[in-house]
Structure 1
Amino acid sequence: MTIWEPPAPPTGVPRYLALADAIGADIAAGRLRPGERLPPQRELARRLGVTVATVGRAYQVAVRRGLLTGEVGRGTFVAPAPSRPAAPGAALLDLATVHPPGHGAVHRAVAPVLHRIAADPLAVSGEDADAVRHRIAGARWLAYGDWRPDPAHVEVTAGGQHGLAAALATLAQPRHVVVTTELTNPGLLAAARLLRVELATVPSDEWGPRPDAVDRICARRRVAALHLHPTLHNPTVVTMPARRRQEIAAVAAAHDLPVIEEDPFGALLPDRPPPVAALHPRTVLLGGITKTLAPGLRIGYRYAPPSLAAPLSAAARALAWAPAPLVAEVATQLVLGGAAVPLAAARAAELAARAALARDLLGDRVYAPGPAPFAWIRLDGDGGQVAERARRRGLAVAGTAEFAARRSAPAGLRVSLSADDASVRTALHALARLLGG
């Protein structure tokens, strides 16, 4: 049995999560080695001055992260290195999910907001004044540089996917196509399948979708809308520079083409160029705080020109009616109270450090400019095969097929950097060993 004791946990973090994070950190640092037995829960609880339940929950979290294994009658052990084949049903190190963990600093910021709401029974009422406040918060969150959307043209949605599905339902037309990139947001693929919207693709270069390709497809096909993800593109992490955005906007304007612009990660990149919505008036801009701050805050913000506002609102209500008033109020207080931007900045700094580690471990094959919640690994072969090899070794990653809007899409893997720090480090080391042979 290992004589192991974690460092004192940081303040404001639940003890069980701090303990699980410490286990992951010490595994990544080599202080805990595969196969080593951890102290019994009761003994470690006594040494740390916590309850047995706290240690039990920490061990459970570590097991779900693929860091530990439990054997009835024998104890708890450090899991085998991911380079070995994973046992059927074993927990996976998750580098596929891109949601932030949703605890720590965000919990500390949300707690006083919930206390204030609990003390005010009218805080989540359905009065129009509350809806106006939510739209003002949305306009503030979407604003960037000199571009300030009118709150009257902003609607709160039940997350980004809700807004995206409503935009597709509104703009797609029979026998028309919606144009996107060859690799695109899987949420778009899912919504298009559900709504029976045909997608057509254009190739991309190092700066995003090529304007000449967009122009050509508009000349030969009936195009209902152009879908863009110009900032920290999912999955390739490309951020379109200002000039490319201007070129794309000019093509869209020449064809009188509506644009659906997704921007779920924009707040992570404070020096990003202005959105396409600031350049082309027929743009529906979709943002939100879910993928920046916490998955439980499922709130999106949709900006649209007045000519599209009514049909977009009708589609949104048909799909999900409206976001939960309580969650919308929490998001509003975080944004208007000034807490949301510092939380996003702290998250960006954390992700930038992980992107640097990914570049160090994976070399030239990885594109991880930071501070994105994921990195993109370019592959010469089949991304699906590599993803399956990783899964057999206990590592979950997202292969090409999850993002491909056409069969010949470039091969690669999207590697999430969004879990807790210890899990990301452990998984990146495992991935480096896998790709190294």
Structure 2
Amino acid sequence: MTIWEPTGLAGSGPRYLALADAIGADIAAGRLSPGDRLPPQRELARRLGVTIATVGRAYHVAARRGLLSGEVGRGTFVAPARTPPAAADTPALDVATVHPPGHGPVHRAVAPILHRIAADPLAVGAEDADAVRHRIAGARWMAHAGWRPEPDTVEVTAGGQHGLAAALAAVAQPRQVVVTTELTNPGLLAAARLLHIELATVPSDAAGPRPDAIDRLCARRRVAALHLHPTLHNPTGLTMPADRRREIAAVAAAHDLTVIEEDPFGALRPDRPPPVAAWHPRTVHLTGITKTLAPGLRIGYRYAPAALAEPLRAAARALAWAPAPLVAEVATQLVLSGSAHRLAAARAAELAGRAALARDLLGDRVTLDGPAPFAWVRLDHDAEPVTALARRRGIAVAGVDEFAARRGVPPGLRVSLSADEDAVRTALRALARLLPG
């Protein structure tokens, strides 16, 4: 059909989204049926008083939503009705990933920054423009517990994974050994596989990786680096106390080890102990704002001593050249204005409430230490049957295999507390019914 046009374009957002929403609404209401032909873009643009590009983008968005299909030379048609996929194929509740939602308060804080940047053509220039400001922001973001890195020791990265992969590439060669915990960040597992680096594991106790185990391993093997995640450890959520950090720093110094220290969630715990970098100079300290504020703000910060700066910089440029200047500028303005820390504090308060709910529903099988964006759930048996059953019930959780750096680690699963509050609440209640006991 070519006579269709929407009854109105509601909303204060972009016109193309309003038009795409109107197409969806008319399909749902039966005013458009499968196989109906929509007006040509030029014709509909003239009727609505918008540009052809606006209609084209609306059709594209509607097609991505599965509402429309295009046929070259014939036009754009309403797509056939879709059968909803089974819950086992596409879980309705995703509590496997830990990214914050990225809307609400963060969106409101970022919007005026983007308006200011748009009004100033020189606000974002070349890759190295305003590098000093970005380093100052990075140093301020990672500073805590009396540790204050100098801005000239800080570099901006294109997110935490970029910083981690570059650090591994800079300090370890293929087939060399990097020590980590038995349960560890999946990003480390992926980067080590890509770079052909061997991961050796040490056991942990309630305070974190055991210094005596690190010492024994380094005594019998040639180790290139030690990987740590001391604050809100992924996936267990535990935070290493100051004494344990000092003990590990002493072991690293005794064996002349480079330490790679991740701190992606640290801003959620401003009271955390000083980093290992405060005691062991040969430490690469990695943090960022992505995991704390919003997945779209893919910016990380890396501290390193002068002796490691050049190989780290070369590895980072080989992997991603440089972070996006626009995103770096948004992050810098958020940090230097104080907004980033205020948003992190509000996020921590929200996560503390969800952690309390997880303890209430899942009991003592849950490991939680402060406002972690996830909970580690200990299991008595293999995690695979539980994760498979949860998936059949429409809930996606992360099983132990995603975090295991060796075979035979104790079973468990990680439940994200970062998703929408209703989704977290529903998923936790469903898991409480699924878990035995």
Q: TM-score under structure 1 normalisation?
A: 0.80
**Do residues 323 (structure 1) and 323 (structure 2) align?**
yes
Mapped partners of 2:409, 2:436: distance in 1? 24
Task: Report the more deviating stretch, 87-96 or 162-171.
Answer: 87-96
Asked if structure 2 preserves the Cα contact closer than 8 Å seen for 1:356 and 1:368, the reply is no
- Kindly, what percent of the aligned residue pairs are identical? 79
1:368 aligns with 2:362: no
Cα distance 1:361–1:131, how it changes in 2: closer, same or farther (>3 A)?
same
Aligned to 2:194: 194
- Residue equivalent to 2:19: none
Change (3 A) 1:128 1:192: closer
Question: Aligned equivalents of 2:389 and 2:302: distance in 1?
Answer: 39
Corresponding letter in the other structure for 2:151: P
Contact 2:98 2:417 in 1 (8 A): yes
Deviation of 1:411 (Å): 1.1
Preserved contact between residue 176 and residue 198 of structure 2 (Cα < 8 Å): yes
Contact 1:92 1:391 in 2 (8 A): no
Residue 397 of structure 1 deviates from its aligned partner by 0.4
What is the alpha-carbon distance in structure 2 between the residues aligned to residue 220 and residue 143 of structure 1?
35
Secondary structure of 1:180's counterpart equals strand
1:350 maps to: 350
C-alpha distance 13-236 of structure 1, shift in aligned 2 (>3 A)? farther
Q: Is the 8 A contact 2:127 2:322 kept in 1?
A: no
Per-residue displacement from partner, 1:226-262 (whole Å, max 9, x unpaired)?
0000000000111000000000000001111000000
Shift of residue 213 of structure 1?
0.2
Query: 1:108-166: per-residue Cα shift (whole Å, max 9, x none)?
Result: 00000000100111111127551111111000001112111011110000000000000
Given residue 95 of structure 1, which amino acid in structure 2 is its aligned partner? V
> Alignment partner of 2:96: what SS?
coil
Asked which structure has the greater CA Rg, the reply is 2
Q: Which amino acid counterpart does residue 120 of structure 2 have in structure 1?
A: D
| Structure 1 residue 427 displacement after superposition | 0.8
What one-letter code is carried by the residue in structure 1 that aligns with 2:369? P
- Tell me, in whole angstroms, the C-alpha distance in 2 between the residues paired with 1:204 and 1:238: 11
Residue type of the partner of 2:156?
Answer: V
Which runs of no fewer than 5 residues in structure 1 stay unpaired?
A: 1-11, 15-39, 43-52, 61-71, 80-85
- Which residue identity does 1:227 align to in structure 2? H
Does residue 1:224 correspond to 2:224, yes or no? yes
Aligned to 1:314, what secondary structure does the other structure show?
helix
Q: CA contact under 8 A between 2:98 and 2:418: conserved in structure 1?
A: yes
What SS does the corresponding residue of 2:295 show, helix, strand or coil? Answer: coil
Distance 1:163 1:240 in 2: 22
User: Aligned-pair distance for 1:174?
Assistant: 4.7
Distance (Å, rounded) in 1 between the aligned partners of 2:396 and 2:128: 45
On the 8 A contact 1:175/1:222 being kept in 2, the answer is no
Q: Structure 1 241/13 Cα, relative in aligned 2: closer, same or farther at 3 Å? A: farther
Question: Residue 239 of structure 2 contacts residue 369 of structure 2 at CA under 8 Å; is this kept in 1?
Answer: no
One-letter amino acid of the counterpart of residue 284, structure 2: V
TM-score for the superposition, normalised by structure 2? 0.80
TM-superposition CA deviations, 1:342-371 (whole Å, max 9, x none): 000000000000000000000011112330
Distance 1:161 1:295 in 2: 12
Once residues 73 and 342 of structure 1 are traced to their aligned partners in structure 2, the CA distance between those partners, rounded to angstroms, is 44
Q: Which amino acid aligns with 1:176?
A: Q
Equivalence for 1:102: 102
Residue aligned with 2:419, SS = coil
* Structure-2 change in CA distance of 1:218 and 1:73 (3 Å): closer
Confirm whether residue 427 of structure 1 aligns to residue 427 of structure 2. Answer: yes
Task: Describe how 1:197-216 pairs up with structure 2 within 5 A.
Answer: 197-216=197-216
Measure the CA separation in 2 of the matches of 1:297 and 1:158.
9
Distance 1:391 1:257, change over 3 A: same
Letter in 1 for 2:279: L
Question: Offset of 1:294 from its aligned partner?
Answer: 0.2
Match of 1:258, as an amino acid? T
For 1:61-113, what per-residue CA distance to the aligned partner results, in whole angstroms no more than 9, with x for missing partners? xxxxxxxxxxx799x9xx9xxxxxx6443443111010000000000000000
Superposition pairs of residues 147-162 of structure 1, within 5 angstroms: 147-162=147-162
1:275 maps onto 2:275 in alignment:
yes
> How much is the aligned-residue C-alpha RMSD, in angstroms?
2.5
Deviation at 1:13, TM superposition (A): 12
Tell me the amino acid that sits aligned with residue 314 of structure 2.
Answer: A
- Identify the residue that residue 313 of structure 2 maps to in structure 1: 313
Distance 2:126 2:235 in 1: 38
Whole-Å separation in 2 of the counterparts to 1:367 and 1:127:
42
Given the alignment of the two structures, is residue 403 of structure 1 paired with residue 425 of structure 2, yes or no? Answer: no
Distance 1:213 1:13, change over 3 A: farther
Specify whether residues 132 and 212 from structure 1 end up closer, same or farther in structure 2 by C-alpha distance, changes over 3 A only. Answer: same
Greater Cα offset, 88-97 or 360-369: 88-97
- Which residue of structure 1 aligns with residue 341 of structure 2? 341
Using the alignment, how far apart are the partners of 1:257 and 1:318 within structure 2? 24
**Residues 3-22 of structure 1: per-residue CA shift (max 9 Å, x gap):** xxxxxxxxx999xxxxxxxx
Whether the aligned pair in 2 keeps the contact of 1:95 and 1:396 (CA below 8 Å) is yes
Residue identity opposite 1:369 in structure 2? D
1:293 aligns with 2:293: yes
Q: Give how far 1:173 is off.
A: 2.9
Count of aligned residue pairs for this structure pair: 368
In structure 2, the partner of 1:34 is none
Alignment match, 2:32: none
Q: Counterparts of 1:272 and 1:89 in 2: how far apart (Å)?
A: 40
Aligned counterparts of 1:222 and 1:289: Cα–Cα separation in 2: 34
Please report how far the alpha carbon of residue 218 of structure 1 lies from its aligned counterpart in structure 2 after TM superposition. Answer: 0.4
- The CA deviation string for residues 194-245 of structure 1, in whole angstroms up to 9 with x for no partner, is 0100100000001110000000000000000000000000001110000000
Deviation of the 1:393 alpha carbon:
1.4
Q: Check the 8 A contact 2:397/2:413 in 1, yes or no.
A: yes
Q: C-alpha distance in 1, partners of 2:279/2:324?
A: 32
1:295-321 per-residue CA deviation (whole Å, 9 max, x = no partner) reads 000000000000000000000000000
Where 2:425 maps in the other structure, the secondary structure is helix
CA distance in structure 2 between the aligned counterparts of 1:174 and 1:427, rounded to whole angstroms: 41
Closer, same or farther: CA 126–407 of 1 in aligned 2, 3 Å: same
